[in-house]
Structure 1
Amino acid sequence: MSGYELASQKSFPCAGCKKSFATSWTLDHHSRQCRGSKRELSDLLAQTKDIWDARKRRRIDTQGLNTENSVPTPLANPTILPPAAPDLTELPEDSTIDQPIATRKSTRNIRLPARYRDDVLPERPPPVQLDIEESSTSNVVDTSATVPSQTAVAVASIPLVVFRSRPSVFGVTRIYVMPPGSRLIHDPDQSITLSDLTDIPSQPTMARCHKYGPFSSQSAVSLAHWYWKSQNKSLRDFHDLLQIMKDPNFSVADVVNTEWNAAFHALGANKEDLDDVDGAWIEDDGWKTVPITIDVPFHNRMKNPGVHSYFVGKMRCRNIVSVMKEKLTSPTDQPRFHYYPFSATWKPAPHFPETNLYGELYMSPVFRDAHEEVQRLCLDDGDRNLERVVVALMFWSDSTSLASFGSASLWPIYMFFGNESKYRRCKPTEQLCNQVAYFESLSDSFVDFLKEKNGGKVPSEALITHCNREVFHKQWSALLDSELISAMRSGIVLTCADGRRRRFFPRIFTYSADYPEKSLVSTIRNNGNHPCHRCLVVKSKFDLSKLGAPEDSARHSQLRDVQKQMRSITDARVEAFEGGFAIDGDRVDKHLKDESLIAVENALQTSLASLDFNILSTLVVDLLHEVEIGVWKRLFIHLIRLLNAFTHPSGPTLAAELDFRYRSTPTFGRDSIRKFSTNASEMKRRAARDYENLLQCAIPAFECLLPEPHNTTLVRVLYTFAQWHALAKLRLHNDFTLEFLEYSTTLLGAQIRIFDRDTCSKVETKELPKEAEARARRNAKNGNSATASRKPVSLGIYTIKFHYLGDYVSTIRRFGTTDSYSTETHNVMLLNASYTPDSHQQEHPYVYAKVLKIFHANASFLGVLPDGSRRDQLHRLEFLWVRRYAIQNYNEDISLVQVKPCPLTDADALGFIDPTDVVRGTHLVPRFSRGKSDEVSSRWSTGGEDFWNAYFVNKFVDRDMFMRYQWGMAIGHKYMYPNFPPPVIPSIPPEFDFCLLQPASNTSRDATTHATTQPSEPELNGNTLPPFQLPDDEIQDENIGEDPYQPGKQHELDDLDDRELLAFDDMYPIE
């Protein structure tokens, strides 16, 4: 019997009328017309509706019963005000009502199951117990003797209660110190979401405003927009007008009845210029203008001696207290605003020592000290028993150029609140940045004012520089008004969004700026003889190069005394403003020279002098300007010079080989490592993030470009620098990582000095061609002879920014991690099953593989389960097809992990793995010095990339990857706790060579004497390099060590501003 005959005998009956059909499609056609089928379906729907209605009634009855039987618990705290009842007479305005349905935000949030997602959050911090045990005397401590007073208000000796929360799943415990009887009723971390911690795009919240602004209708708005959008009307504008009038919603009556003159006046007016009704639509956030006037001292030998006032202009600013009130009373910001600082400790396992954590500002020692000091203040008003909260103010300032051509610039002042998480502050979509002012600078007409007062002659440049500094501090005096100072002293009482009244005490914690502005804020000379605002280190190559050495004692033993500085500046200003002496004269300079000060009254220090405020302690480190486009950029430029010096005329160009290697480096992640599209050696239009990527990928790029032993020395420097950079950028530190960073700081200083001694001083390096051209242009602009010949140059890395690298550990311990106040995939790794704490010397903890394909299968188990049952259901299984890498030459001290693809002849070269066994994706960079593989790579490559004989595992690609190799130091890497060895911090041995530079015998020169033995001819890529003509001594600044601000003398390092030398700006501009 044929298959057709079998199919023809099968019938398809209708359930409604019992008729039979030969095919299924004829049955479907009949069912759409069959009355019996329709009647049966209707009955089924009615029964289903009755079932769901019954379930709903039972659920409502159950909820009502529970509500009636529940007894409210009375609260001992003040009553929380209920939210205002909504006005039901007016429906809320829907911001998406005019949008097409396809573009509106979906009302249903469809999410994948947890097993298919990688965004599942770890456990939140445990909820803090509300009641603090006061009866336990072991929890009561007297901190009045340990915390210095920060205000002039009397401080009482009040014991504070210490409370420890239960450990989290990661072993983190929080410790709070609060007055007796206090209760922890506000924990922002309990409302944390994924969007608070990541940069996954979310729907922005649109601020509601007046619907039509100063206009009365939509028709008036449309017509006004047509009027203002172009100055000269064209035929196209006429057609646009016709389209407006054709709109069905356009009303001629609304247009005729609009008072156009008043509307246009209100459109361009400030809110303070209008009454409350007309200005209600303006959301100016309290901006106002403040007139700025400075006093200009003309010395006795000028035409019109004395002090003359000059009106600088009007500064646009906001009242800081009003910004603070807006933040503290906002229903949106209040739930995530931290009122109580705490310290955090970490103990992941019983055998691990307990260590302190450093991260957010509100868990830093400086915040806790301020909080304890505020709790002990004696206040006389009736609200002295209110809850007291410290408001952490964090300021940023950065003068910004607005155009590539021209002099347009902007000088904004930003303010953040340290009570908010840094993970939210770094997200622009959260809009937590508050712009509080736009500073003014002296205009060109100021020179005309000086000429007028001085008989047509322009005074010295020193007077103009002094007046620019005066303008900066005068504007800060206007920002630090009496209302803010009163709030700092006695607090300000506000009713928060939760209905509770609290007393808030603002405190300035950090001020972030680049080096020129730090000098301006701290009133010291920019690159003066004592260039550091923290200590009195001398500006000399010998003193600034002591990073990490025991001899670097000035950092701790010669700290600046802010009170002594204020007295010296006051004495100098008396000589200039009352004595009539020149601002740069000897009588004024004798009070300032010893500590490289300037004769400007420090507004931040003077205004807050009664509060025991120290502006110098708030100036935090700046990793972007000091490291990434500071020390590292200088080192990278000199490495290019070395490559040019080692390039033989008949051999390959080493700088071009470097460019090829960087261009061949694969990208990683969405933006962790970007594509090096241009030649790295030319440094064209590079931003700070580009220099960071250059450092992270430097070892594979530079390896074996220099001959030995210079190559080994350079790789050590690059590895230590990348390690220091990764540690400095960690977002959560502990005592182990900070000790490791301190060790790396010592090692970095020594490695750079060794590199300078053994390589840089033995090779004659000259300016890059662009450097010589930029210097010639600069000399021609100054009227000097312009020669573009390339001059010999040295490493030149020992500047104030190199000195600042030693302050990172102490700053992190005091203020938290640097990201809080800074001014910036198909390869996988798995855990090695044979790795144990006892085998870590022989085994590597990870296995590396390349994902070739991703598969899934629907499978079932056909056997018998342990309980005797059978389960034959299909299950979806995912698995990866991978090619494994073999580990080569693993040395965890000075080099990256090196791997190579397992030969295809090995039995374990290819295999399948469970995706859940993958730890994370890793960044494999070719080891270019080993060359490309001869293996045909088209079958095994993804995207057609080349196959190489060996690869580096770039552990510096991001912070998480770096901490995977720091055994026992990462809080979130729980798999390390039982299987990895405990954290071990290397120590500096007693016989360690710090390679300190020796001071020169001649005070006018600060050069180091290096051996000048002629090097042998090394081999590189089959080409013999020629011998080098070494100089008798390294070229250095002949005036180094002298005071650069003596009349008639100019120091070379005075040109070293935050953007490096002016030549660097011309050659390597920063975006």
Structure 2
Amino acid sequence: MSQPAARTYEDVLQCIIPALEGLLPVSIETHILTLLYVLAEWHGLAKLRRHTSASVDALRHTTTRLGHELREFHRYTSEMEVYETPKERTARQRARKRARPRAALANNSDAYDSAPVQENERRRRFFNLDTIKMHSLPDYTDSIETMGTTDSTSTQTGELIHRFSKIDMNAQTRIEERLKCIQSNLGETTPARTHQAPPATPLFSDASNEPLPSADSGRLPYQIAQSQKNVIVLPLWVQKYRQDPATKDFLPRLKAHLYTRFTGGQYQDELKRSSQELSTIRFQHDRLYTHCTLRVHYTTYDVRRAQDTVNPRTPKRFVILPSHEALDPRMGARRFWYAKVLGVYHANVSYKGALPKRVDFLWVRWLARMTDVPGGGGTCRLDQLGYFKDSDEFHAFDFVDPADVIRGAHLIPRFVGEHTTEYLNHVESLAIDSEVAGDWKHYYLNRFADRDMLMRFTGMAIGHMTLSCMPDETVAPPKDVSQSTYDYTDADSDAGGGLETDEADIYDHAQEYQGKTGNNSNEEEEDDDNDDMDEDFDEYNEDTENNCDDGLDVDDEERAFVEDDDVSW
């Protein structure tokens, strides 16, 4: 990195943990990864733009942990022989040469003769705890409670105060010169204005008014383009990828998903659909329509609207969805599901002979949390996710409603792990991570990607409702600061921790919320789809679809029914 700024170090801190794994000896790596985790957690809590009493207490406890980890880092690095880099040595030598004339004038030249290290030698470096920044770390909590969040104050006020002296200098002279210039310009332009004819048409006419975006466009749960330029003919597409394990039972699973959405059932009911029920789902012209991106709208921890863009063709293709098991706190399950988006589609679907209506859906590949490798605040390690094999009990490839997506997820491959073809032995699969190496065996879930992501795992955000308000890990004070790692109270236990939440009330509200959501989704499906879409999506349709060329433009005459026993319609 050349001349890194503060934001550069922030970006490095948020994603450096997976990159450092396996590069250092195990005895040192354990301490380094723990320090980085605690530092990233402290940094995320310190820069929150809306605090509560729970988040301030969590920041205070994390500051205690950070101070202990920094002292531990100073202790075991003091025994290492670490020297300055050649670039640092060159900079030090230049600084000494510039300082020699000033030192000679001050009769202080003897100080250089007594230097313990020669100029051409590299100096040994130590981690210094005696700095103002280290000393000010405990003051963050008191400062937030007294003056507000850290974004309400800035050091730019003091840094820019010197500009006032330059502004005041010769201010009167510049004002006089400016007045003369204005008077001269007015004298030249005034006669020309008097002879100008009035405009023939008003400046703002009804014909020139452009349509403004709808005020409710940001309140929609998601946004997908409305065009139907990129076509997939189902018989041809299924026949083309019939050898791909990812497309196994593609059509039956899609019909089961659509049937569940039309009837208002639950996700678990998709596995129990009969062939008679699936026969009630028909696709207009046997076609699907692909899209390049999905825009997900969500509410942040500080009650603001935000948007994530999901593109299946880029690394920004992972999403977070609410876990259905999280409705029952007695099951002890995690609150989120994670998936890789393989495609964004819509289809004009007819149910029981009714008129076709547009239905949006995502084709995803599920990722499961690695239960044998614990993560979170108790272990100071990032959670690990991984793919799994497809089975009849639980589908590795499935379809989800875009409205169920909470937001995008930041997953980082576990670089010390190897690629594997255990899940997909087909090299040219549509769902594989790399056609050359295969799938990454594990991913790290980066909970420090931004402030909102961190608050979703601490459960202290006032902007996260229903399922998201159930804390995955509550932050509690450390029992013994002499330990290098601390056991934070897990939300699934009965200990409680830093938040006081009634799990029974949360369960009741979540059940009620899910019922309302299901009813609302049914009512939305009954509305006319194409006629009632907002006009403010037109510009977005053109921008997002111009670069999307993966669809198949097929005429009606080219649409042939494929005679294949493996394809059932």
TM-score (norm 1): 0.27
**Greater relative contact order (CA < 8 Å, ≥ 6 in sequence):** 2
Larger Rg: 1
User: Which structure has greater helix proportion?
Assistant: 2
TM-score (norm 2): 0.49
